[in-house]
């Protein structure tokens, strides 16, 4: 029985990981400890799944939790990902995105010395790049243009300097739906706005490879299961602007696409700068992990089925 600890289990990716790991064939081979701050917001139940509150910014709590559970793998999804909040609340951003990783590294090192060496899968981002030359492969040179990007790059560098077993999953613009969601995403926002007859302005001068949360969960599990060290791009395969994503969403749900107004990033005044063209080349993950991402159109259809299931 492989023991996997998930941080940030109340978030979108954390909940998708729990759903994945309690389904066949994994539910008989994996024991999961889901951790997040506060109460458990995920209603999934399984004999091999339990929840424990853990503050990822509390060094003693992190070390104690890992020491007690002794995981074979840790999937670290907890982070501060609101880019503008990271720009304006830098101390909190650093605690959540960098110090937390340092505490996990320390806990893994202590377990390694005790004869148990957990494999740490860390979530990173396309925002470590300046967006001048996307889509990017894993060896591309990082040059963040926001404090969020700086913090996530610093976390990567902490792992590179450590002596534990690790891999990094870099991802892009994750979308999906789950219970008790704290944030929306582009598909849900476009759908709701157009259903309400609102005109929306969507940028067409930024490019991303939007990522279905289920695909990201599978990519992270494959990394934890195979324990292949290194950096992997785990994102969607379609290279799109947010405007193109909005048009696809409108067409799928038969909504009025004329309400979507094409604009550029200069229209919006935001504390943090966004990289214009990121997105990822996925060859390494496809070849080494057998990662198989769905298209954006397939992702919309999956999200639609999940919306219908909640009605």
pLDDT at 179: 77
Q: 122 φ, ψ to 5°?
A: -110, 135
Examine the pLDDT at 211 and tell me if it is beyond 90: yes
* Distances 245 to 28, 44, 299 between C-alpha atoms, Å: 38, 30, 11
Q: State the burial class of residue 222 (Cβ atoms within 10 Å of its Cβ: 0-12, 13-18, 19+).
A: buried
Q: State the burial class of residue 223 (Cβ atoms within 10 Å of its Cβ: 0-12, 13-18, 19+).
A: buried
pLDDT at 143: 98
Examine the pLDDT at 183 and tell me if it is beyond 90: no
All domains of the chain, ordered by start, with CATH?
2-179+210-236+278-295 (3.40.50.720)
| DSSP code, position 170 | E
Examine the pLDDT at 109 and tell me if it is beyond 80: yes
Q: Check: CB of residue 65 under 8 Å from CB of residue 71.
A: no
Examine the pLDDT at 128 and tell me if it is beyond 70: yes
pLDDT tens-digit map of 248-277: 999 999 999 999 999 998 888 899 999 999
Quick one: average pLDDT of 41-55? Answer: 94
């Amino acid at each position: 029985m492989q023991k996997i600890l998930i941080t940030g289990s109340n978030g979108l990716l954390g909940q998708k990981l729990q759903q994945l790991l309690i389904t066949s064939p994994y539910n008989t081979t994996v024991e999961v400890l889901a951790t997040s701050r506060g109460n458990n917001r995920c209603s999934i139940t399984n004999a091999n799944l339990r929840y424990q509150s853990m503050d990822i910014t509390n060094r003693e709590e992190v070390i104690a939790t890992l020491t007690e559970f002794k995981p074979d793998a840790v999937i670290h999804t907890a982070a501060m990902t609101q880019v503008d909040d990271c720009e304006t609340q830098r101390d909190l951003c650093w605690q959540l995105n960098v110090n937390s990783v340092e505490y996990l590294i320390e806990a893994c090192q202590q377990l390694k010395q005790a004869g148990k060496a957990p494999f740490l899968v860390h979530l990173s981002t396309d925002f470590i790049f300046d967006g001048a030359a996307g889509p990017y492969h894993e060896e591309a040179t990082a040059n963040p243009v926001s404090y969020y990007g700086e913090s996530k790059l610093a976390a990567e560098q902490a792992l590179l300097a450590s002596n534990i077993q690790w891999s990094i999953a870099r991802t892009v613009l994750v979308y999906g739906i789950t219970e008790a969601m704290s944030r929306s995403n582009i598909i849900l926002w476009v759908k709701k706005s157009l259903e309400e007859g609102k005109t929306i302005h969507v940028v067409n001068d930024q490019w991303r490879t939007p990522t279905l949360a289920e695909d990201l969960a599978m990519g992270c599990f494959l990394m934890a299961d195979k324990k292949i060290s290194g950096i992997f791009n785990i994102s969607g395969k379609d290279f799109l602007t947010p405007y193109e994503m909005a048009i696809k969403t409108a067409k799928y749900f038969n909504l009025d696409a004329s309400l979507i107004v094409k604009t550029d990033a200069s229209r919006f005044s935001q504390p943090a700068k966004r990289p214009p063209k990121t997105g990822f080349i996925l060859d390494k993950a496809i070849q080494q992990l057998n990662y198989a991402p769905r298209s954006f159109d397939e992702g919309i259809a999956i999200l639609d089925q999940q919306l219908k299931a909640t009605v």
